[in-house]
Amino acid sequence: MVSVRFLCTSLERLGVLNLNKEIVTTSKKRTLQDMIVLVHYSIVLIIWSGHLLCTVMRSVRHSAEFTQAVLEDCFLLSGLYFTIFLRVNKDQLDSLITFMENSFSKADKKIIALCEHKCKVLLTAVFVAIGCSALGAFLESFLPMSEKDVEIRRLVYRTQHPERRHPYNVHYPFIDESESWAFELVLMATIYFAVVMQCFFSVAICILPFIMLNVRSQYEILAKYIVKIGVKHRDHLGNEIFYTNIETNEVRILTTSDKAHKARKIYLDKNALIRRQLEYEQNYLKQIIQFHQKLLIFHDKVCCLCFSQIIMGSINPFHSIFTFLIL
């Protein structure tokens, strides 16, 4: 099932963070995980530092190249910031995921299935969009260039083979990136970097939308029960039912013997039947309030996790934005 836990597990396999406590049970597994993280961060740091150096020392001479390079640097910097944010708040994120898995209602299978379908479509769409952009950058680097563009690159980048281009322009001191050995080495590192970054951004971008879609499905389930307030509850066969737990959809069906007993009681103690019905309606309303309070608690936890740095007094402006996006 495509869920927030699946996204965090995927980030963990990419070497970004570790939410699974079972992975760090032994020192050997902990060392392996640390090595994967170290390798990924080292490659990202090397490629990004080379790209940033190229932006400052080379691309600044060409306005179009400089604009594209600055946007790429900002994109990578935002990814680095989000990675640090996840690593610092991994305990809170794990708490939210555990809350969703253990406390969220699965009473309506259709709504839950629709939510899962939306999550799959969203993840596929984001992955395809980022993949197409990365593929376009690679294809562009292998397309033939005109003599004018080659001459511009010779003046801007000052390399021996300006017709050789990397998907993302990089520069390292005392190295000509267009030379044979350096070109292939940087190209392989860039391809690995692009694949890891595509998977990372595709997964990381979907974390908050996945949470919002799941919360929205809970509100839809809650709304389904709210519209039943004040009316007799019946199942799909027309039998009268009484909800004992709306979050798990546990009901008690009124059997034929119960109906006969109820008919006899009408003539014996009509007031008692009215009191019993009122007690059930009060209990039903109490279940709805408890369900709603649980969603509000989770709602506040998400807002505190995402926008804890931007709280003015006792009012968080992003609390209302998050509510608007859900509803």
The answer to whether residues 151 and 42 belong to one domain is: yes
Q: Give the span between the Cα atoms of 108 and 220, in whole angstroms.
A: 9
Q: Could you tell me if 81 and 167 lie in one domain? A: yes
**Selection from 3, 26, 28, 32 nearest residue 13 by Cα:** 32
Are 145 and 243 members of one domain? no
Instruction: Report pLDDT digits (tens) over 211-249.
Output: 989 999 999 999 999 988 888 888 777 777 888 888 888
Whole-angstrom Cα distance, residue 280 to residue 276?
6
147: which 2 tokens? 């003599």
pLDDT value for 40? 78
The residue out of 206, 239, 257 marking a domain boundary is 206
> Last residue of a domain, which of 174, 206, 238?
206
Which parts of the chain sit beneath pLDDT 70? Answer: 1, 17-31, 33, 254-270, 306-327
How far apart CA 162 and CA 147 sit, in angstroms, is 10
Answer yes or no: do 181 and 278 share one domain: no
177 and 257 both lie in a single domain: no
**Closest to 61 measured CA to CA, from 171, 177, 182, 137:** 171
Claim to verify: residue 173 and residue 273 sit in the same structural domain: no
> 216 lies in a domain?
no
Whether the CA torsion 317, 308, 102, 37 is positive or negative: it is: positive
Cα distances (Å, whole numbers) of residue 192 to 43, 168, 270, 295: 9, 12, 77, 41
Task: Please indicate, yes or no, if residue 212 is contained in any of the structural domains.
Answer: no
Would residue 218 count as lying in a domain? no
The reported pLDDT for the residue numbered 322 is 45
Residue 223 in any domain: the answer is no
Examine the domain organization and report whether 184 and 252 are in the same domain.
no
Q: Which domain covers residue 293, as residue numbers?
A: 228-326
Quick check: is 11 in a domain? yes
Answer yes or no: do 21 and 151 share one domain: yes
Output b/e per residue, 309-319; b: 16+ Cβ within 10 A: eeeeeeebeeb
Residue 211 lies in a domain: no
pLDDT, tens digit (0-9, with 9 covering 90-100), for 308-322: 544 433 344 444 444
The C-alpha angle with vertex 144 and arms to 140 and 149, in degrees rounded to 5, equals 90
- Is there a single domain that holds both residue 129 and residue 276? no
Q: What are phi and psi of 291, to 5 degrees?
A: -60, -45
> Are the C-beta atoms of residues 323 and 299 closer than 8 Å to each other?
yes
* Shared-domain flag, residues 199 and 261: no
The domain tally of the chain equals: 2
pLDDT of residue 18: 62
Classify residue 221: in a domain, yes or no: no
Residue 54 token pair: 């190229």
CA–CA separation, 313 and 316 (whole Å): 8
| pLDDT for the residue numbered 250 | 82
In degrees and rounded to multiples of 5, residue 3 shows phi and psi of: -140, 180
Nearest in space to 134 (alpha carbons), one of 76, 90, 84: 76
Does residue 188 share a domain with residue 258? Answer: no
pLDDT, residue 121, reads 93
pTM of the complete model beyond 0.95: no
Together in a domain, 169 and 243: no
